[in-house]
């Protein structure tokens, strides 16, 4: 059947009636829609690009950290690579979900690792330089386990772990230390005390009077007050004389002081055993000894070093006096004799007295000096003795320094070495190898007799009593 033309025309008319009179408004609406769509697409693209850029930036930062860590050794490098990958994944997940807090957490973690990598690299470089330049304290050499740990970290021979706080921990054969603890291990050489001693010794020429309190105060101020730094003061060389332990080992007065600490009067120093000496020295110099006390060791160290400075001061002025006497003798040389307080003596008389004094050492017989004093030589004590006559024909003998005898007899004309050369009086070696004292009043039995309760030994002696009870 043919189409009804009227129906077709009617339908067309209805369609035309539904169209707007003008399409200009519709075009504008359509363009606005297109613009909105484009803007929306551009925003999506911008946001996406920002995400891409942010991730790329984070990735570059992570790569920088990885590269920098490569100079620290394979262990730390591998750990850093793993850490960087973890943070990249965490950052990407946060980026996709829009979790700003998680993104900042990942960024901060990477920044912290970057800071650590740079600082650790700089630290171990400086530490190695200090070691190579000999600026690290000798205390490290006395603590091999400590030295082994630092060496392992320098070599990268360790495992990397994390503690509960998220801090990096170096594990060296089961010994674990945080990076902060590792960096706190190194101790620089201690120079202050040695410098103070050198300065005090240089001041000897200023006065023949020794200011002991001032010297000790100067030394106390130079000694470290912290345990870490005091370790260096104990172990490092002091003004070229060795460390404190060496000085104590060579100190001849310790035995006498220990006897006093034991409560023993006039005892024989040789009765103090080497074991007892070693115990005392260990308490004073070993910071790991359970009886070690920082302030006690500081005080004793200051006291002993002050003694050394005082001896140097005395030796300096003795040398000055010796030179003065030598000059005086040179001035008098060539005279026929000398006028002393007891009268004139010819040079022949003086020379005869000197020959007689020297011969006494061989004969053991007493001789009379120009001033009337009679002396003899005690071979057992290796000292000259002055003979004092008492009532009833009795005699008393007392030891005195040979220089005192010479000063008394010749009134400063001669020094000991002028007559006896380098001969050493006083301490002699017995057949058993022990030293013999020149003190005639010293107890020879070796027994340890108690002192009065009123006597109070010093700090060193109290320690001796505590660690080595008898």
- Sequence length of the chain is 470
Long-range interactions of 290-293: CB distance < 8 A, separation 24+: 291/463, 291/466, 291/467
Under 8 Å between Cβ of 367 and 357: yes
Sorted by where each begins, the domain ranges of the chain are: 33-121, 136-183, 192-318+457-467, 336-436
What is the pLDDT, as a whole number, of residue 49? 62
What is the pLDDT, as a whole number, of residue 45? 65
Report CA-CA distances (Å) from 375 to 1, 359, 365, 397. 172, 12, 9, 9
Q: What is the DSSP string of 253-309?
A: THHHHHHHHTTBSS--GGGS-HHHHHHHHHHHH-TTSTT--HHHHHHHHHHHHHHHH
Predicted TM-score (pTM) above 0.75: no
Angle, helices 100-132/24-69, rounded to nearest 10 degrees = 20
Residues 355 and 236: their CA atoms lie apart, in Å, by 50
Cα first-last separation, the chain: 142
Report CA-CA distances (Å) from 211 to 33, 208, 215, 253. 100, 10, 6, 22
What is residue 174's DSSP assignment? T
Residues of the chain with pLDDT under 50: 23, 54-55, 58, 61-62, 65-66, 69, 429-457, 459, 461, 464-465, 468-470
Under 8 Å between Cβ of 307 and 460: no
What is the pLDDT, as a whole number, of residue 157? 83
What is the DSSP pairing of strand 367-368 with strand 374-378?
A: antiparallel
Residue 374 main-chain phi, psi, to 5 deg: -110, 135
Beta-bridge partners for 385: 376, 399
Residues 221 and 276: their CA atoms lie apart, in Å, by 31
């Amino acid at each position: 059947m043919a189409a009804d033309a009227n129906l077709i025309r009617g339908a067309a008319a209805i369609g035309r009636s539904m169209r707007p009179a003008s399409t200009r408004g519709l075009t504008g609406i359509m363009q606005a829609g297109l613009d909105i769509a484009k803007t929306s697409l551009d925003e999506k693209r911008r946001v996406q690009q920002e995400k891409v850029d942010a991730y790329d930036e984070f990735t570059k930062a992570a790569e920088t950290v990885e590269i920098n860590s490569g100079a620290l050794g394979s262990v730390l490098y591998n750990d850093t690579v793993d850490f960087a990958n973890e943070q990249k994944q965490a950052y990407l997940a946060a980026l996709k979900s829009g979790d700003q807090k998680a993104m900042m957490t990942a960024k901060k973690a990477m920044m912290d690792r970057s800071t650590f990598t740079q600082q650790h690299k700089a630290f171990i470089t400086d530490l190695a330089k200090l070691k190579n330049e000999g600026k690290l304290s000798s205390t490290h050499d006395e603590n091999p386990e400590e030295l082994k740990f630092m060496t392992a970290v320098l070599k990268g021979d360790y495992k990397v772990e994390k503690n509960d706080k998220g801090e990096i921990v170096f594990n060296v054969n089961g010994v674990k230390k945080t990076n902060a603890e590792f960096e706190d291990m190194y101790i620089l050489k201690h120079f202050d005390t040695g410098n103070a001693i050198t300065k005090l010794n240089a001041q000897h020429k200023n006065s023949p009077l020794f200011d002991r309190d001032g010297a000790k105060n100067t030394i106390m101020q130079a000694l470290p007050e912290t345990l870490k730094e005091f370790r260096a003061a104990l172990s490092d060389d002091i003004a070229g004389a060795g460390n404190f332990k060496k000085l104590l080992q060579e100190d001849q007065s310790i035995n006498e002081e220990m006897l006093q600490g034991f409560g023993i009067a006039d005892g024989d120093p040789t009765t103090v055993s080497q074991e007892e000496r070693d115990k005392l020295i260990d308490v004073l110099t070993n910071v790991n000894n359970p009886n070690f006390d920082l302030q006690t060791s500081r005080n004793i160290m200051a006291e002993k070093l002050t003694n050394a400075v005082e001896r140097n001061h005395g030796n300096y002025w003795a040398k000055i006096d010796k030179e003065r006497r030598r000059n005086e003798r040179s001035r008098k040389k060539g005279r026929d004799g000398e006028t002393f307080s007891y009268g004139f003596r010819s040079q022949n008389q003086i020379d005869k007295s000197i020959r007689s004094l020297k011969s006494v050492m061989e004969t053991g017989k007493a001789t009379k000096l120009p001033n009337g004093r009679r002396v003899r030589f005690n071979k057992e004590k290796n000292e000259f003795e002055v003979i004092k006559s008492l009532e009833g024909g009795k005699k008393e003998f007392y030891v005195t320094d040979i220089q005192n005898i010479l000063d008394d007899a010749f009134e400063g004309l001669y020094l000991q070495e002028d007559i006896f050369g380098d001969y050493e009086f006083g301490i002699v070696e017995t057949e058993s190898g022990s030293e013999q004292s020149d003190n005639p009043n010293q107890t020879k039995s070796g027994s340890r007799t108690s002192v009065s309760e009123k006597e109070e030994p010093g700090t060193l002696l109290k320690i001796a009593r505590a660690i080595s009870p008898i």
